[in-house]
Structure 1
Amino acid sequence: MLGFRLPFRLGSLPGRAERPWNRWFGDRGEREAARSLRRQGMTILSRNYRTAQGEIDLIARDRETLVFVEVKTRRQGEPAEAVTLAKQRRVTLAALHFLKRHGLLDAPRPVCCRFDIVAIVWPEGWGRPQIEHLPDAFEAVGPPGQFFR
């Protein structure tokens, strides 16, 4: 026992709601993934695009291609293996929502899209993360023709 009370909880900042550690860790991975993609020449258009169907961690532009990016951050192992078929389906539905919302399904020229994964292994302590970018990691999951008028 310290013998006195701190005006805030350890591990949190005054005036901020506490965030679960895994959410903080995931956000840290998403920031690192965005930085890595920018270094590769991509433009980040959106972070944490949320819909009722699912969430897309990052939406980027790689030249003329719209890229929907799922980021997985782990301490060890193979983060990309956590992108299950169910997760791919949710990302696909969120991407479809994004395309419809921005009128890109009705665009005069078809919009080229792809689904990437950025897998990050961040070791304990202050080690540098290992970042693996997997372009075109999976195809849209769902009924055929869902991305067409």
Structure 2
Amino acid sequence: MNSKVGNKNNKRAAGSIGEAAAVQFLKENNYEILETNFRYRRLGEIDIISREKDYICFVEVKARSSLGYGYPREAVNIRKQENIRRLAQIYLCKNRINDLKVRFDVVEVYMEKKGDDIEVKEISLIKNAF
């Protein structure tokens, strides 16, 4: 998947591009997007909450332009996983969801900077990442 977005050269913008690419990727793979950037007080954020068949999926998106700091999935450490699980429980309770299986996925977005543009080169989905 290649897409270009102009004049986006800071880390936050790259993260937003990665999340937008992940949402599009999930939609193309028959996921229903329920919510993006779910926050509860100061506990943190879940990037994407989606549904695939009888699963509710809590998705963490990690974008990288190089593997200098490791694979994107490696950035979802134990502390981050625990935080996502805690937020997922809150989301399920607030929305009274108890009839779906729960899954935690990671979407890796590989990007390349070309001048002032950032190009999405590859996206991979890791189901049941943790």
With the shorter chain as reference, the TM-score category is 0.7 to 0.9
* Structure 1 residue 54, shift from structure 2 partner: 1.9
1:29-63, CA deviations, whole angstroms, 9 ceiling, x for partnerless residues? 00000100111110111000011322100000001
Tell me, in whole angstroms, the C-alpha distance in 2 between the residues paired with 1:124 and 1:87: 27
In the aligned structure 1, how far is the partner of 2:121 from the partner of 2:86? 30
Instruction: Look up the match of 1:83.
Output: 76
Pairing partner for 1:132 from 109, 124, 129: 124
Q: Distance in 2 between matches of 1:111 and 1:39?
A: 21
Q: Which structure dedicates a bigger proportion of its chain to strand?
A: 2
Q: 1:42 and 2:34 equivalent?
A: no
| TM-score, length basis structure 1 | 0.73
Gapped regions of structure 2 (runs ≥ 5): 1-6
Q: Could you tell me how far 1:127 is from its partner in structure 2? A: 4.0
Cα RMSD between the aligned structures?
1.8
Q: Which runs of 5+ in 1 are unaligned?
A: 1-10, 13-19, 139-149
Q: For residue 58 of structure 1, what is the amino acid of its counterpart?
A: I
**Contact 1:54–1:93 (Cα < 8 Å) also in 2:** no
- Match among 102, 105, 111 for residue 113 of structure 1: 102
Name the aligned partner's letter for residue 115 of structure 1: F
Name which of 55, 59, 64 aligns with 2:49.
59
1:129, distance to aligned residue in structure 2 (A):
2.0
Q: What number of residue pairs does the alignment pair up?
A: 117
Amino acid at match of 2:62: K
AA partner of residue 45 (structure 1): L
Higher relative contact order (CA 8 A, sep 6+): 2
Higher mean alpha-carbon deviation, 123-132 vs 62-71, is at 123-132
For 1:136, what is the secondary structure of its paired residue? coil
Cα displacement (A) at 1:128: 3.7
Point out the structure with max Rg over C-alpha.
1
Q: How far off its partner does 1:84 sit?
A: 0.5
- State the percentage of identical aligned residues: 32
